[in-house]
Structure 1
Amino acid sequence: MNLPGGPAPHDEAVALSPTWLTAVLRRRHPGAVVTATDVTERIETVATKVRFDVSYAPGAASDAPPALCAKAYFNPAARRRGSSRAEVDFYRLLAAALPVRTPPYVHAEVDEETGHPLLLMHDLVVAGARFGDPLMGFGRDQAAGTLDQLAALHAATWDGTRGRETPGADLATTFAPRLASLARHMGPEQLQTQLDDGRVPDIPTKVRRADRLLAAMGALADLSPRHPRCLVHGDVHTGNVYATADGAPGLIDWQVVQYGVWALDVGYHLAAVLHPDELARSERELLDHYLDRLAAHGGAPPGRDEAWWAYRAHLPYGFFLWSITRNVDRPITERHTGRLALAVARHDSLSLLGV
């Protein structure tokens, strides 16, 4: 179906226009006629998220969503830095078929001529959802709830299972591993400058070394094919977890989704969301909980000793992601980089990887 303005307009005015939205919504809600939109919130990070109310003509489809959230690279500066289509491909190809809670969406497309992706979701805030506060963190029970969602995602795609069942969604190709490409994002000198900018002041110098951290990313990339792989979210900090109106956890912001080792998600999540003291007390128990849930969802969990080694060895991944972060509020950056670095130091993860 041709859409006026294209499948993924990079002009926010077009994407929020009654003409374009009517054409999009009529594919799922045939009687919908949009008459107006009213922006309620705009969030600028790497991509732009625009929450807006939708007004319909009298007699329009009664099940049409009253509020939506558009996520795209509307800001020209963000487009110049490059855009990722991974999240849109996740929704377009897989989200509806996977047993993991994600925001309901009405449109997920990439303009193949420009490469611009656009995702149009139901506004979860209007539906009563609550989003995690990156500066608050989780308790043990909340972390266990997210681990169950991760176990469901991992089990459904364990060793590429979903890729064989879903045409057009070969996991290793469509959602290629990201470790090597992420390591090329920043050179050692710039990375060292960021590691020394005060975001991890209490971390031993031997851990706060760009050369070792980059080498760890390379070691993890080399290690990955020797472990069972699955689809991983890739960025499971507190701010990317929401709770529905009845308290059930779900996952948002799938921009770093990739085919990789389960421990990328589990290690990153636990070290990012738990206070370091709580992490030290609960990580073994929570890892066992994840492995049990992975089996319950149909996955084939590794042995406890193997899993414990993989969990500790993959902690540098999250530390690296927050070490290269530049466009997030400083208190959030410091909190996540510091927590993840402390976990890497406590487990001597860099030495585990031989770097």
Structure 2
Amino acid sequence: MSISSLLALRIGGWIAWEKLSGYRAKYISDVPQSAETMTPRWLTAVLCNGVPGAEVVSVKTTGGSDGTTARRAISLTYNAAGMAAGMPAKLFTKCTPHFRSRLQQAAITKPPCEVGFYNEIRQELVIEATDALFAAYEPRSGRTVMIFHDIAAKGVRFLDIFDYVTRDMAEQMVRTMAGYHGKMWRDPRLTNGHYPWLRSVLAYQRLLNDALPYEARSYVGMQRAHPHFPAELAARPNDVWRAHMRSVEICCDPTVPQTLIHWDVHIGNWYLTADGKMGLTDWNMNSGNWATDYSYAIVTALTPQDRAAWERDLLALYLEELKAKGVIDVPRFDDAWLAYRQQMFHALFYWTFPLGIGSLQPRMQLPEISLRNVERSGQAIVELDSMAAVGF
């Protein structure tokens, strides 16, 4: 199964209507299709509510890029009341104006999860992370909008896999993950339907498998990743896929602690503040076991040499941080080490898949970034004997 033709027709129809009708969001209940079509009237409704007399006078886009969403920096001017109130002038937006990206986002129902996180959970977490000024999703059309402070204008530097992550930076990443994992550790709201948009890692992976199709394109990605894909794994691709699915099942085993999972903690979703703090963005929320985030972050952020040298100390720090956050049933180190080894596969396939995408799917990442992530995660799977850790 893949993305349904009915969904494609519906999303395509909405995009055509938006263009033909000249649709523009006007009210706070509306969702614009792009930063370029945001109007001062709509921005006034969503940003100036509660600031008497404040209005947005003009808006212009000042740069950006396209991937799974369209990311744009925008610059606003305000009337005298808005200026006197210190309303933010430099903002950053994420929208879904393009057919292929909007269709894929709608098929895997990612936007409600990120919007839900910012609207319902973010304020509970005491961590360095992006915070949305406004977030909304329109399910019929698939339009999504999120507005943030433009933290890059405040000296924040967004990282990528070609940046060297120091020991201090890695320890800060560990503390951040323990911060949101510990806060939501065994929280019943994660599994009792309190957040209707939240799903388990296993449910999400099965959705990806059906909608994209994830498994088939990952096999293509394995071939395209040669010679970066380890020969030991390339020789048994079906077993590696089954090991991946087994690791996801282990992640969602109800007998092990479940918590809030970011799910996409590669180094490209981390940033470094002007005062040297590591922060996290692009929240693609699920529920599951802590190790799926932890393993993914460590294996993709660090060079293989640093990962091998630091991984036991970093894991010990993570467990200490959980205890400091009030977690009562902190895993024993040996159990945590096994979980760390078991959860390496998500990182591997989350970067193998983009290499294998078809012509109708949006390009999510540059190939050189995907290849570096595949190389690091594949090497870790081999060195840590992760196949054996999940029974293969």
Relative to the length of structure 2, the TM-score reads 0.83
Q: Give matches, 1:122-201, under 5 Å.
A: 122-160=149-187, 163=190, 169-170=194-195, 174-177=198-201, 178-184=204-210, 185-186=212-213, 188-201=215-228
Residue-by-residue CA offset, 1:224-265 (whole Å, 9 max, x unaligned): 22321100111111111112222222110113x210110011
Residue-by-residue CA offset, 1:293-336 (whole Å, 9 max, x unaligned): 11111223200100000000101111111111142111111111
Q: Does the alignment pair 1:251 with 2:273? A: no
The match for 2:7 is none
Supply the distance in 2 between the matched residues of 1:44 and 1:320 (Cα, whole angstroms): 22
Residue 5 of structure 1 and its aligned partner are, at CA, apart by 7.7
The match for 2:244 is 217
CA distance 1:332–1:297, change in 2 (3 Å):
same
SS at match of 1:59: helix
Conservation of the 8 A alpha-carbon contact between 1:243 and 1:250: yes
Supply the distance in 1 between the matched residues of 2:193 and 2:99 (Cα, whole angstroms): 30
Residue in structure 1 matching 2:60, options 38, 43, 50: 38
CA distance 1:305–1:46, change in 2 (3 Å):
same
Conservation of the 8 A alpha-carbon contact between 1:179 and 1:220: no
Residue 26 of structure 1 and its aligned partner are, at CA, apart by 1.7
CA distance 1:146–1:169, change in 2 (3 Å):
farther
Relative to the length of structure 1, the TM-score reads 0.91
Structure 1 gap segments, 5+ residues each = none
The worse-fitting range, judged by mean Cα deviation, of 208-217 and 181-190 is 181-190
Supply the distance in 2 between the matched residues of 1:202 and 1:195 (Cα, whole angstroms): 7
The worse-fitting range, judged by mean Cα deviation, of 207-216 and 257-266 is 207-216
Residue in structure 1 matching 2:258, options 223, 226, 229: 229
Supply the distance in 2 between the matched residues of 1:228 and 1:334 (Cα, whole angstroms): 32
CA distance 1:210–1:192, change in 2 (3 Å):
same
The worse-fitting range, judged by mean Cα deviation, of 301-310 and 103-112 is 103-112
Residue in structure 1 matching 2:297, options 263, 269, 284: 269
Residue 94 of structure 1 and its aligned partner are, at CA, apart by 0.6
Conservation of the 8 A alpha-carbon contact between 1:183 and 1:217: no
CA distance 1:353–1:182, change in 2 (3 Å):
farther
CA distance 1:30–1:88, change in 2 (3 Å):
farther
CA distance 1:347–1:168, change in 2 (3 Å):
closer
Supply the distance in 1 between the matched residues of 2:243 and 2:190 (Cα, whole angstroms): 28
Residue in structure 2 matching 1:73, options 87, 96, 100: 96
Supply the distance in 2 between the matched residues of 1:54 and 1:199 (Cα, whole angstroms): 47
The match for 1:238 is 267
Residue identity over aligned pairs, in percent, reads 27
Conservation of the 8 A alpha-carbon contact between 1:4 and 1:20: yes
Residue-by-residue CA offset, 1:112-158 (whole Å, 9 max, x unaligned): 43343211111111122111132124122111101101001001110
Amino acid in structure 1 at the alignment position of 2:289: V
The match for 2:348 is 319
The match for 2:311 is 283
Conservation of the 8 A alpha-carbon contact between 1:3 and 1:24: no
SS at match of 1:40: strand
Residue-by-residue CA offset, 1:35-90 (whole Å, 9 max, x unaligned): 11222211101111111111111232523111111111122231122332211111
Supply the distance in 2 between the matched residues of 1:107 and 1:115 (Cα, whole angstroms): 17
Supply the distance in 1 between the matched residues of 2:57 and 2:306 (Cα, whole angstroms): 51
Conservation of the 8 A alpha-carbon contact between 2:35 and 2:74: no
RMSD over aligned CA atoms reads 2.3
Residue 174 of structure 1 and its aligned partner are, at CA, apart by 2.0
CA distance 1:188–1:78, change in 2 (3 Å):
closer
The worse-fitting range, judged by mean Cα deviation, of 226-235 and 208-217 is 208-217
Residue 270 of structure 1 and its aligned partner are, at CA, apart by 0.8
Number of equivalences:
349
Conservation of the 8 A alpha-carbon contact between 1:55 and 1:66: yes
Amino acid in structure 2 at the alignment position of 1:45: G
Residue in structure 1 matching 2:330, options 277, 280, 301: 301
SS at match of 2:213: coil
The match for 1:62 is 85
Residue-by-residue CA offset, 1:188-242 (whole Å, 9 max, x unaligned): 4432221011355361243564312321232123222232110011111111111
Conservation of the 8 A alpha-carbon contact between 2:269 and 2:281: yes
The match for 1:114 is 141
Conservation of the 8 A alpha-carbon contact between 1:128 and 1:244: yes
Residue in structure 1 matching 2:380, options 317, 340, 343: 343
Residue 168 of structure 1 and its aligned partner are, at CA, apart by 7.4
Conservation of the 8 A alpha-carbon contact between 1:183 and 1:214: no
Conservation of the 8 A alpha-carbon contact between 2:248 and 2:343: no
Q: Does the alignment pair 1:332 with 2:369? A: yes
Residue-by-residue CA offset, 1:4-58 (whole Å, 9 max, x unaligned): 38432224433x2111101111225444311112222111011111111111112
Amino acid in structure 1 at the alignment position of 2:267: T
